[in-house]
Structure 1
Amino acid sequence: MKLNKIIVSLFLSTNSSVLYANEKGSELIEPMMVTIPAGSFQMGDIDEEDAQPIHNVTLPEFSLGKYEVTVKEFRHFVEETGYKMPSECTHQLNGWFSYGKTDGTWENNSLNTNDFQPVNCIGWQAANAYTQWLAKETGLPYRLPSEAEWEYAARAGTSSKYYFGDDPEQSLVCEYENTADLTGENILQRDSNTSYVNFFNGKSSCVDHSAYASIVGMYKSNPFGLHDMLSNVVEFIADCYKDNYKGVQNNGQPWTDQACEYRVARGGSWHWNTFPVGRRGALGEDFVGAVEGFRIALDGVRPTVSSNTKKFVKELKIAQRSEQLKRDAMLPYPDSVKNLTINQEKGLVILNWDKSLQTDIESYRIYRNAASGSTFKLLAANIVGTTFKDANIDHHRYEYTVVAVRQHQQSDYSNTVKTQAPWVHAPGRIEAEAAAELSGSSVARTTDIDGKYNLTGPGGIGDKAIVDYQLEVAQSGNYNLSYRVAAPRDTEGFTLLVNGKELAVEKVTKTGGYNEWQTQTGAAIYLKKGKNKLTLRSRDKNWKLNWLNLTQA
Structure 2
Amino acid sequence: MKLNKLSKLNKLITPLLLSASSSTVLYANENSSELIEPIMVTLPAGSFQMGDINEADAQPIHTVTLSEFSLGKYEVTVKEFRHFIEETGYNMPAQCIHQLNGWFNYGKTDGTWENNNLNTSDFQPVNCIGWQAATAYTQWLAKETGRPYRLPSEAEWEYAARAGTSSKYYFGNDPEQTLVCDYENTADLTGENILQRDSGTSYVNFFNGKSNCIDHSAYASIVGMYKPNPFGLHDMVSNVVEFIADCYKDDYNNANSNGQPWIDDVCEFRVSRGGSWHWNTFSVSQRGVMREDFVGAVEGFRIALDGASPAKSSNTKKFIKQLKTAQRSEKLRRDAMPPYPNKVTNLTLNQKDGLVILNWDKSPQTDIESYRIYRNAATGSTFKLLASNIVETTFKDANIDSHQYEYTVVAVRYHQQSDYSNTVKTQASWVYAPGRVEAEAAAELTDSSVGRTSDIDGKFNLTGPVGIGDKAIIDYQLEVTQSGHYNLSYRVAAPRDTKGFVVLVNNKELSIEKITNTGGYNEWQTQTGAKIYLEKGQHKLTLQSLDNNWKLNWLSLKQK
Shared topology, TM-score over 0.5? yes
> Which deviations, in whole Å up to 9, do the C-alpha atoms of 1:456-515 show, x marking residues without a partner?
111211111110000011111111111111122222111100000010111112222211
Q: Which residue of 1 aligns with 2:92?
A: 85
Q: Which residue of 2 aligns with 1:5?
A: none
Q: Which residue of 2 aligns with 1:421?
A: 428
Q: Which runs of 4+ in 1 moved over 3 A?
A: none
- Preserved CA contact (<8 Å) 1:464 1:540: yes
2:316 to 302, 309, 322: 309
1:536 to 532, 537, 543: 543
Q: Which residue of 1 aligns with 2:25?
A: none
1:251 counterpart = 2:258: yes
**Bigger shift: residues 96-105 or 460-469:** 96-105
Shift of 1:201: 0.6
Q: Which residue of 1 aligns with 2:31?
A: 21
- 1:454 to 1:216, Cα distance in 2 relative to 1, 3 A: same
1:230 to 226, 229, 237: 237
**Bigger shift: residues 542-551 or 399-408:** 542-551
Q: Which residue of 1 aligns with 2:401?
A: 394
Shift of 1:111: 1.4
2:154 to 139, 147, 162: 147
Shift of 1:97: 6.2
- Preserved CA contact (<8 Å) 1:96 1:192: no
- Preserved CA contact (<8 Å) 2:99 2:107: no
The code of the aligned residue for 1:297 comes to A
Please give the alpha-carbon distance, in whole angstroms, between the structure 1 residues aligned to 2:203 and 2:472: 20
* Aligned partner of residue 191 in structure 1, secondary structure: helix
1:463 counterpart = 2:455: no
1:276 counterpart = 2:314: no
- Preserved CA contact (<8 Å) 1:91 1:109: no
The code of the aligned residue for 1:68 comes to E
Shift of 1:197: 0.5
1:452 to 440, 450, 459: 459
1:45 counterpart = 2:52: yes
The code of the aligned residue for 1:83 comes to Y
* Aligned partner of residue 458 in structure 2, secondary structure: coil
> Which deviations, in whole Å up to 9, do the C-alpha atoms of 1:13-71 show, x marking residues without a partner?
xxxxx99935xx3x100000000011111111111111111111111111100000000
Map 1:170-209 to 2 at 5 A.
170-209=177-216
Shift of 1:90: 0.5
1:58 counterpart = 2:65: yes
**Which TM-score applies when normalising by structure 2?**
0.94
Instruction: Structure 2 unaligned segments of length 5 or more: list them.
Output: 1-27
Map 1:351-390 to 2 at 5 A.
351-390=358-397
**Bigger shift: residues 230-239 or 535-544:** 535-544
- Preserved CA contact (<8 Å) 1:90 1:97: no
Shift of 1:277: 0.4
The code of the aligned residue for 2:172 comes to G
- Preserved CA contact (<8 Å) 1:125 1:285: yes
- Preserved CA contact (<8 Å) 1:488 1:514: yes
* Aligned partner of residue 168 in structure 2, secondary structure: coil
**Bigger shift: residues 195-204 or 454-463:** 454-463
**Bigger shift: residues 90-99 or 424-433:** 90-99
The code of the aligned residue for 1:133 comes to W
The code of the aligned residue for 1:261 comes to E
> Which deviations, in whole Å up to 9, do the C-alpha atoms of 1:83-114 show, x marking residues without a partner?
00011100244212642211110001111111
* Aligned partner of residue 21 in structure 1, secondary structure: coil
- 1:305 to 1:125, Cα distance in 2 relative to 1, 3 A: same
1:405 counterpart = 2:443: no
- Preserved CA contact (<8 Å) 1:176 1:228: yes
Please give the alpha-carbon distance, in whole angstroms, between the structure 2 residues aligned to 1:258 and 1:119: 29
**Bigger shift: residues 283-292 or 87-96:** 87-96
* Aligned partner of residue 485 in structure 1, secondary structure: strand
* Aligned partner of residue 425 in structure 1, secondary structure: strand
Please give the alpha-carbon distance, in whole angstroms, between the structure 1 residues aligned to 2:29 and 2:94: 29
- Preserved CA contact (<8 Å) 2:69 2:304: yes
Point out the structure with max Rg over C-alpha. 1
2:490 to 477, 483, 486: 483
2:335 to 318, 328, 334: 328
Please give the alpha-carbon distance, in whole angstroms, between the structure 2 residues aligned to 1:479 and 1:56: 58
**Bigger shift: residues 533-542 or 481-490:** 481-490
Map 1:434-453 to 2 at 5 A.
434-453=441-460
- Preserved CA contact (<8 Å) 2:100 2:106: no
Structure 1 vs Structure 2 CA RMSD: 1.2
Shift of 1:124: 0.4
Q: Which residue of 1 aligns with 2:80?
A: 73
Please give the alpha-carbon distance, in whole angstroms, between the structure 1 residues aligned to 2:443 and 2:495: 27
Which structure carries more relative contact order (alpha carbon 8 Å, separation 6+)? 2
- 1:20 to 1:532, Cα distance in 2 relative to 1, 3 A: closer
1:260 counterpart = 2:270: no
Please give the alpha-carbon distance, in whole angstroms, between the structure 1 residues aligned to 2:156 and 2:523: 44
The code of the aligned residue for 1:388 comes to F
- Preserved CA contact (<8 Å) 1:35 1:301: yes
Please give the alpha-carbon distance, in whole angstroms, between the structure 2 residues aligned to 1:490 and 1:93: 28
Please give the alpha-carbon distance, in whole angstroms, between the structure 1 residues aligned to 2:384 and 2:282: 26
1:114 counterpart = 2:121: yes
- 1:481 to 1:32, Cα distance in 2 relative to 1, 3 A: same
> Which deviations, in whole Å up to 9, do the C-alpha atoms of 1:181-204 show, x marking residues without a partner?
000000000011000001111100
Please give the alpha-carbon distance, in whole angstroms, between the structure 1 residues aligned to 2:31 and 2:146: 20
* Aligned partner of residue 131 in structure 1, secondary structure: helix
Please give the alpha-carbon distance, in whole angstroms, between the structure 1 residues aligned to 2:194 and 2:475: 34
- 1:19 to 1:108, Cα distance in 2 relative to 1, 3 A: closer
- Preserved CA contact (<8 Å) 1:194 1:375: yes
Shift of 1:232: 0.2
Please give the alpha-carbon distance, in whole angstroms, between the structure 1 residues aligned to 2:81 and 2:355: 56
Aligned identity (percent) is 81
- 1:328 to 1:359, Cα distance in 2 relative to 1, 3 A: same
1:296 counterpart = 2:303: yes
> Which deviations, in whole Å up to 9, do the C-alpha atoms of 1:255-276 show, x marking residues without a partner?
1111012111001100000001
1:157 counterpart = 2:157: no
The code of the aligned residue for 1:492 comes to K
* Aligned partner of residue 94 in structure 1, secondary structure: coil
* Aligned partner of residue 301 in structure 1, secondary structure: coil
- Preserved CA contact (<8 Å) 1:446 1:453: yes
Please give the alpha-carbon distance, in whole angstroms, between the structure 2 residues aligned to 1:20 and 1:254: 35
- Preserved CA contact (<8 Å) 1:52 1:245: yes
Please give the alpha-carbon distance, in whole angstroms, between the structure 1 residues aligned to 2:190 and 2:467: 29
* Aligned partner of residue 310 in structure 1, secondary structure: helix
Instruction: Structure 1 unaligned segments of length 5 or more: list them.
Output: 1-17
